[in-house]
Chain A
Amino acid sequence: MLAPEAGEDTELIAGELARGLVPPVQPNPRFARDLGQEIRKAAQQQIGSTTRSSLCGMVVELRKVVCLLCETLIPVRPSAEFVRSLGKQLRAHAADLIQARERRWRWVLLGGVVGSIVSVLGVVATVLLRRRVNGANGSVADAQRAVPVQDKAAF
């Protein structure tokens, strides 16, 4: 901070300043330049050191967490007994599933065959029935046609 030069009456200067007779005191350009440089340097140091230290701290903490993760999260293996028994159960279940699927497929196939036979038989039966009905209808019509002739002959 700039101090008034020795011997100067500060009250007088203040009064004159108030009246606008003396221009406001300007800092020495060299002093201002030097001070600016010092402040800039200090600020750079402060910011730089803060960033560096905090960055350093962050990296150290991060490294610590990663190391701990490596130590903590290690593969856990199931017991051999569990693996063996589950494997056995799964194989048996897989065999059952495959058998059940084959059985189901067999039933579907059998159902299809039976269905086809039944449908063919149905068609045959329908055809035969229709023929029989047609045959019976034909003989009745013949008989009806024959009756009037006999009647005419009777008259």
Chain B
Amino acid sequence: MLSEAPSEAELVLRAREDPEAFGQLYELYVSQIYSYIYYRTGNHHDAEDLTARTFYQALRHIRHYQDRGLPFSAWLYRIAHNLVANWHRDHSRRQVIALDEIALTSPRPNPETRMESQDEQRLLMHLIRHLTEERQQLLILKFVEQMSNREIADIMGRTEGAIKSLYHRTLLALRDEWVMTKQQESQ
């Protein structure tokens, strides 16, 4: 008879006393947390450092974790979010994402088109970096992690409607900035 995989809640309970259970939780979420932090910091070095700190902090406080019906990842994202906020405060510098390191999703045979697209991606990342923290967080969770509004609401501690509205406002703001920058470039 096949033994059923433990649920997330069971793993969290076991992780308080069992290092292996915590290891399983870590493996479940490390990529998501890393990805989130990478887009918030803009480089792999800090992303690795902050990811490690996120999980160490989670390990230290897992005994005090209370299951309130939200996914465990919401708690991890909160820790990561706070660490990133502190990181920005400490560094008070804005880094540009090294987009060269990010593989493009669609292969582009024409080098000129590819170059243009990369320029556009750089510009977009630059514009994203100038959005507020919560708007950046929303875009990362929406596009990188491809979460639903419900899941994002759980993580950000907002209602689903508020997230929907924030998402629309963010897209419109981004579009306006995009158009303005493009117009300035063409002049």
Q: Which residues of A contact B (CB under 8 A)?
A: 58, 61-62, 64-66, 68-78, 82-83, 86-87, 89-95, 97-98
Contacts and interface: CB of A to CB of B under 8 A. Distances in A.
B56 A93 contact: yes
B106 interface: yes
Size category of the binding interface on chain B: 35 or more
B115 interface: no
23 contacts: A58-B175, A61-B175, A61-B178, A62-B171, A65-B174, A65-B175, A65-B178, A68-B124, A69-B174, A71-B106, A72-B121, A73-B144, A76-B102, A78-B31, A86-B51, A91-B22, A94-B15, A94-B19, A94-B23, A94-B59, A95-B19, A97-B60, A98-B17
A89 B49 CA distance: 13
B27 interface: yes
Interface of B is mostly: helix
Interface stretch (B34-42, B71-79, B155-163): B34-42
B83 interface: no
B145 interface: yes
A64 B181 CA distance: 14
Interface of B: 15, 17-20, 22-23, 26-27, 30-31, 34-35, 38-39, 44, 47-48, 51-52, 55-56, 59-60, 99, 102-106, 117, 120-121, 124-125, 139-140, 143-145, 171-172, 174-175, 178-179
A69 B47 CA distance: 20
Given A70-B143, A90-B19, 10 more contacts: A68-B121, A71-B117, A72-B102, A73-B144, A76-B35, A76-B144, A86-B55, A87-B27, A90-B23, A93-B56
Contacts, number: 105
A87 B26 CA distance: 7
Contacts of A78: 30-31, 34, 44, 47-48, 51
B124 A65 contact: yes
A66 B3 CA distance: 43
* 7 A-B pairs with least C-beta separation: A94-B19, A73-B143, A78-B34, A72-B121, A95-B19, A91-B19, A91-B23
A31 B52 CA distance: 81
B121 A61 contact: no
